[in-house]
Structure 1
């Protein structure tokens, strides 16, 4: 009987240790830079660099860089055409072949006011060229829809919430993931904002939890007219 109890206890400890190593049991972090650089009345450059981890400061998951050219039709409507490069680790707490991606993307951005709330809609098409496990190359078409709502409660602070859904058009089961989160924006000056938030990544079989810490840089290189 004593041996049975010992075996059961050891099995339970081993199970708990393994469970604690699952990615869905960790609080990960995204460290983010996003920039918008106005070139003229209609054109601007969009830049981005994200560093993403399964844990707060370790267990690399992904890094992604993005560059796009934005054209403004009206204050409420603009589009972006761009290119992304991403590399990532496919597995948490175990060795795995890295994933490399080149992506072309096209954004349609719509801005609106809901009373005192600012609403932003983004529809993104992505053409992903994926290389993984050394020998596998894939091409995938994705579509994403993001709704972001913010509310300024002072001159320098605002709160935001967002939801973004991802669909893979090359699969019969098109749903890939859904991001849902909220946080705060703090305006340091006319050029720099800080972003602090929390969100969940809902996958078909699990949910990942992430903290967001970021800086947003806006610059204006357009010619000034008197």
Structure 2
């Protein structure tokens, strides 16, 4: 009995050591993003944009990044609007639950242009970002093209692609491609489920499930 107990303890210790010594490859894991996005109209021209994302290396385990955004939005007309805002991020870059966290602050500027071709909705987002982390300043430009199409009164489908350009390092930084479905619960609440492929230059590809809720409020009423 004592020999069996000793063997079990030895095997358990060896397994624990092996798990600690072997660092999983995050590019081979299926991660998930839990997302909140908010749009809050204050007047005919001005509104607020809010966002909170909880991004995990794996489904339900080991949070990779938290990001929160808050911005002031100005509507030029029904097709063009702009946002300037602030974002805070806490990121784990080591694929480890207990190490590697660092905080980041960002200022961002968006120009959004929306239009339609028949029943197809097109959205262009031009984003400038100034990133402050680890005593470093980074300057990025991002362009996203998104297309959406209604399926019926409640359901719609979407596809998008976003490219990142880095003004400090190599010009091409990363690319995000995503697709999925949205469900309109009401005029205020929409739900989203989709998939995103992230390609990071010199690192590899990351596969992510996206589950989100979008809340739109109108405080002019």
TM-score by length of 1: 0.86
Q: Per-residue displacement from partner, 1:66-121 (whole Å, max 9, x unpaired)?
A: 00000000111000010000010011147542121110000000001122110000
> In 2, Cα distance between the equivalents of 1:26 and 1:213?
17
Of the three residues 206, 214, 218, the one matched with 1:216 is 214
Residue equivalent to 1:203: 200
- Which residue of the partner structure matches residue 134 of structure 1? none
Residue range with higher mean Cα deviation, 87-96 or 97-106:
87-96
Contact 2:182 2:192 in 1 (8 A): yes
RMSD after superposition: 1.5
Equivalent residues in 2 for 1:100-179 (5 A)? 100-131=103-134, 137-171=135-169, 173-179=170-176
Equivalent position SS for 2:86: strand
Which runs of 5 or more structure 1 residues have no equivalent in the other structure? 1-13, 132-136
Q: 1:6 corresponds to which residue? A: none
SS, match of residue 58 in structure 2: coil
Q: Is the 8 A contact 2:62 2:97 kept in 1?
A: no
SS of residue matched to 1:24: helix
Q: Deviations over 1:171-211 (max 9, x none)?
A: 1x121110001000000000000000001000123100000
Q: Quick one: distance in 1 between partners of 2:22 and 2:183?
A: 39
SS of the residue corresponding to residue 173 of structure 2 reads: strand
SS in 2 for 1:59: strand
Decide which of 182, 194, 198 is 2:179's aligned counterpart: 182
1:37 and 2:34 correspond: no
| Displacement over 3 Å in runs of 4+ | 93-96
Deviation of the 1:59 alpha carbon: 1.3
Query: Could you list the runs of 5+ residues in structure 2 that have no partner in the other structure?
Result: 1-17
Q: How does the TM-score come out when normalised to structure 2?
A: 0.87
**Aligned match of 2:55 in 52, 55, 61?**
52
